[in-house]
Amino acid sequence: MYHIAAIGFTAAICSTFALLPQVIRVWKTKETDQLSGGAFTLMLIGAILWLTYGLLRQDIVIISANSITMIFIAYIVAIKARQRIGKTNDQENA
């Protein structure tokens, strides 16, 4: 049983922290023009559903991984939304 848990834990780490380079890049540059807002929104919904599933199953690996993933994705989606609102306001004022 330990091997199965180790596989799940390793997969969770890989999947979760695969987003970290993108988050760091957005943090440094504040640029999200090249990112698909729809794709990241869908990823956020998926992370919320996985988190819900983990909570219902009381699975700490799923809960932990998807909580972190949700924070990463929510940050990117928030920056993307803020930029979209800023561009809309700039166009209206021009």
What is the domain-level CATH number for residue 74?
1.20.1280.290
The predicted pLDDT at position 9 comes to 87
Q: Which amino acid is at 13?
A: I
Domain count, the chain: 1
Question: Please, what's the b/e burial string for 63-80 (b: 16 or more CB within 10 A of its CB; e: otherwise)?
Answer: bbbbebbbebbebbbebb
Instruction: Return the C-alpha torsion angle 17, 22, 26, 32, nearest 10.
Output: -140
Query: What residue numbers bound the domain in which 87 lies?
Result: 2-93
Report how far residue 7's alpha carbon sits from residue 24's, in angstroms, rounded to the nearest whole number.
Answer: 27
From first to last of the 94 residues of the chain, give the pLDDT tens digit. 678 888 988 998 999 999 999 999 999 998 998 888 889 999 999 999 999 999 999 999 999 999 999 999 999 999 999 988 877 766 666 6
